[in-house]
Structure 1
């Protein structure tokens, strides 16, 4: 058996007892220090174990932290990214890679496929994805309980402040979310798509990102209507079966560190590849207090497809976890210790400062003096890698002889 001495916040000896023979090794400390040194070589391109990844990126489901991890991985290996050409945007949702109606086309790839997609984009199936990405691209996703995901979106967008000014409480909002969001929340022009009834923010938000065919299931359809309509149920079953079949791995936001540890082993990455800090998170406030059972049930009522998606992905994650042939707690311990070790180098003692963004108060990681002068620290602490003008510049220089176009006629 393996006996850990001391708390997990410090590096302590690990004593392994095998058939009565005792040997003492500093396993945790040795592995952490080895991976810490590897982290500090973030500029080095090893040319080993290069994989193509597509992230189905749900809003407010730890997806910014995930895309930051992939951003660092892609730069390390010299990979090409799906990136909007315009400096004014970092996403193309509600469009997919294949849409030609988008006002923000992609940086062209000279007819080649892209290695990585870490932006907010609508996933419309593996067959269509392989028009722009290589066959065998590893598809994974992040999901979150739709109840807490709604609260996070609601607060991050500061929608509650707008409603409060109009005398509308949170209880009123969750009774009729589409009515109030359409009336009081101004969607950006690029998200208003003619002849395509997408409703971005508060109706089955995660399922829309996964490619829910909302022209077959009208916006606003809730649990009661679904349970009374066989056609809706069939469409949702097909949707969930496709997602389950095509998504190789799913991150559960509520089990993020475990998800990241399994992800590392599953895709044979280094610990230093998946080291991370939580980024792009809102500062907690009173509107995130626990909801009553009645409030939670109301959210599930009108976001029922998201609830079914979340349950399906929980089952998938549980199956993956139950099939593991290694000690997951040890993997988690190593990753947590590495994150702690890196934060000691990169961040100030208070770690973050609070900033007022366009939407809400957010936590901005604060680099130490040493971190400010270290490229690896800068990358791991960035609000999100794909926000960077530098990444767009890298892509544009790589494909500077291409003609700007979108390579496929969308649906």
Structure 2
């Protein structure tokens, strides 16, 4: 009787141990390195995606995405398709050509060099992009509500765009846009009308007829595996991380190229409606991919898991801010002490930046610095690392 009882107890302990092991295994498989399963679908673990083309649209939080990509490229020693010579963009606002990339023909006559990552500003031209990016490249981009995107463009490009130069504020412009907007200056005025549509390579002055719009939306869907939404940036990073099989820290970020609250202009409901009509192509683009974004999020994760992963990302971002940043917060342009962390200032915007904690050890300082460095300085540094034989890029606003 006692031997039977002892055997039963041993069997019970074995079962408990197996159950505990199963719980640990399930936890591991649902973490960074495992098999993701939801509602009968599974996504097998594998190596991280390293061939990436990010269409960097304007005034859409794309500078923060660029920093994420630059950090990943540097950490994994990946090649980046950088602007040739002293340039800081890939031919924008003209359609992209492969020759705008530094070193694109280094592999000999008739042979185009391929790069792992492309993420600097360009106007999308798929046949030319494919000349410098591998066949298995993951294409993605980001969109923002065109009302907010236009307001940001107005402040940022106030002194550069002809349509904005002579008008007092955006409300005045939207009340009578054709008074200030000249089609014949289209390349100079791209930030004033359907700018995101233009960045995708389309005609920003085209009529928003149903057939034309549907055809272009279908084209974007064919070419881009994912379109992020700026207003839901953390949810976007969760989906991006999932698609690329990246670690949590790969998509953790500090907001870059963001304005101070005092330079953000509120628009009346009437002005917002005028902006949607004025940028009708951008509005259709945004509406369509906002819907597909949420359909994808709910199909792949579901609301509960999405909230959990967003919370995980935000918690990690707070940890990094507390570790890296002085006061854990962004600073006004006049408060930034390190010239290497000074963001470029444009128009009427007050672009915020960061100060690092002074007591950081060297390794932590390098890690934190990569997260806080503005895009122009980061690109210049990657250029010098990738092309040490070339003259370094000259950053005039830091030397002035």
**TM-score scaled by structure 1?**
0.72
- CA–CA distance in structure 2, aligned partners of residues 99 and 385 of structure 1: 21
Match for residue 302 of structure 1 among 278, 302, 314: 278
Q: Max radius of gyration: which structure?
A: 2
Match of 1:107 in 2: 102
1:260-271 paired onto structure 2 within 5 Å: 260-271=237-248
Q: Which runs of 5+ in 2 are unaligned?
A: 1-18, 34-45, 107-111, 335-344, 391-400
Deviation at 1:135, TM superposition (A): 0.4
Deviates more, 1:291-300 or 1:162-171: 162-171
Deviation at 1:160, TM superposition (A): 11
Deviation at 1:180, TM superposition (A): 2.6
Match for residue 233 of structure 2 among 233, 256, 266: 256
2:64–2:255 Cα contact (<8 Å) kept: yes
More helix by share: 2
Is 2:116 the counterpart of 1:123? no
1:79–1:116 Cα contact (<8 Å) kept: yes
Question: What whole-Å deviation, never above 9, does each CA across 1:162-215 have from its counterpart, x for those lacking one?
Answer: 9999574433211344653669xxxxxxxx99xx8573211100011111145x
- CA–CA distance in structure 2, aligned partners of residues 161 and 238 of structure 1: 29
SS at match of 1:212: coil
SS at match of 2:132: coil
Match of 2:212 in 1: 235
- CA–CA distance in structure 1, aligned partners of residues 223 and 261 of structure 2: 35
Deviation at 1:128, TM superposition (A): 4.1
Match of 1:211 in 2: 201
Match of 1:59 in 2: 58
- CA–CA distance in structure 1, aligned partners of residues 58 and 372 of structure 2: 19
SS at match of 1:251: strand
User: Structure 2 vs 1, CA of residues 258 and 61 (structure 1 numbering), >3 Å: closer, same or farther?
Assistant: same
SS at match of 1:363: coil
Question: What whole-Å deviation, never above 9, does each CA across 1:319-338 have from its counterpart, x for those lacking one?
Answer: 21121246111111111111
User: Structure 2 vs 1, CA of residues 345 and 351 (structure 1 numbering), >3 Å: closer, same or farther?
Assistant: same
User: Structure 2 vs 1, CA of residues 285 and 128 (structure 1 numbering), >3 Å: closer, same or farther?
Assistant: same
Deviation at 1:258, TM superposition (A): 0.9
Match of 1:148 in 2: 148
1:140–1:250 Cα contact (<8 Å) kept: yes
- CA–CA distance in structure 2, aligned partners of residues 51 and 372 of structure 1: 30
Instruction: State how many pairs are aligned.
Output: 331
More strand by share: 1
Match of 2:75 in 1: 76
- CA–CA distance in structure 2, aligned partners of residues 299 and 200 of structure 1: 15
